[in-house]
Amino acid sequence: MGKIIYGDNLPILQQWQENTIDLIYIDPPFNTGKRQEKHTTKTSIDPKKGDRTGFKGKRYKTVHIETTGYNDKFDNFIDFISSRANEAYRILKDNGSLFFHIDYREAHYCKVLLDEIFGRNSFINEIIWAYDYGGRTKSRWPAKHDTILWYAKNHKSYTFNYEEMDRIPYMAPGLVGTKKANKGKTPTDVWWHTIVSPTGKEKTGYATQKPLGIIKRIIKIHSNPNDTVMDFFAGSGTTGEASALLNRNYILIDNNPEALLIMKKRLQNYNPTIINSEDTNTLPSIR
């Protein structure tokens, strides 16, 4: 069962019943101070008007189709996150977890904030998602990772399905023997995974879409079939697709009209319930 809720996540969360959600993953705006944009283009062979040279010296013309995105700037980012993180703690079940995805600009401030809300003992892991794509600055070390902070509501009892972990290749398989090499090893707290390919089937056109593989790993290990997973900065709906594929219920919340349209299209085969939080007649169904 899936729900997509259009509206401001804070008042929606404030109305949610406590101790009802098994897992929360959020990828809030990173407070980059910039507008996050996704440019959609198409190319065609045009020997006369081509603006770039491609395979075998052929000239290609690039045509801009559309630009989508949102502004990623807050005067007080921590206050913005604090109220929502408090609600996340309240609505999580006692064995539930929060996965908080952020980048280097705000990660340290968010860690301190979440320590205060969940308690330092409830901080379980700092997961580093490392990727290798895009430009490389010459003025400093290029930033090629995001941070995912894992907090358990109860540090003594939380869902962690170790046997559900995907296996990854050994970097030196000759040192561990054939049996181990064939089985692979479990991941550490550093996850190497490519970003969503700009030309791949997974792309939705949403500016900050996260890879399905990253979210599926979190959901598979930190929840069980038929559990309820929430993402209240849902964006492109990756959490919803990952949940549906793994037989979990999902609740997606976002107030960006573009995100709503993308999620409806992406998840149409799973028939989610669409709710407008501004329609008071539908509010009881979100609890």
User: Which pLDDT tens digit goes with each residue over 182-206?
Assistant: 999 999 999 999 999 888 899 998 9
Record the pTM.
Answer: 0.83
The H-or-E segment that residue 234 falls in is none
Q: How many helices (H) and strands (E) does the chain have?
A: 7, 12
Q: Is the pLDDT of residue 114 over 60?
A: yes
Q: From 22, 68, 15, select the one nearest 235 (Cα to Cα).
A: 68
Pairing of strands 34-45, 123-130: unpaired
Task: Check residue 62 and give its pLDDT.
Answer: 54
Three-point CA angle 258, 215, 34, nearest 5°: 45
The H-or-E segment that residue 247 falls in is none
The structural domains of the chain, with segments of one domain joined by +, span 2-33+73-286, 35-69
Provide the β-strand partners of residue 129. 146, 191
Q: From 185, 147, 9, 157, select the one nearest 84 (Cα to Cα).
A: 9
What is the amino acid identity at position 57? G
Residue 53 pLDDT class (50, 70, 90 cuts): low
Three-point CA angle 42, 30, 230, nearest 5°: 90
Task: List phi, psi (to 5°) of 78.
Answer: -65, -40
Q: Report how far residue 196's alpha carbon sits from residue 212's, in angstroms, rounded to the nearest whole number.
A: 8
Strands (DSSP E) found in 171-248: 190-192, 228-231
Who wins on pLDDT, 199 or 273?
273
Instruction: Classify burial at 218, counting beta carbons within 10 Å of its beta carbon; exposed 0-12, middle 13-18, buried 19 or more.
Output: buried
Residue 152 pLDDT class (50, 70, 90 cuts): very high
SS3 282: coil
What CATH architecture is 2-33+73-286? 3-Layer(aba) Sandwich (3.40)
Average pLDDT over residues 137-161: 96
Q: Is the pLDDT of residue 55 over 80?
A: no
Q: What does each C-alpha distance from 285 to 4, 224, 281 come to in angstroms? A: 12, 23, 9
Task: Check residue 49 and give its pLDDT.
Answer: 64
Average pLDDT over residues 51-78: 57
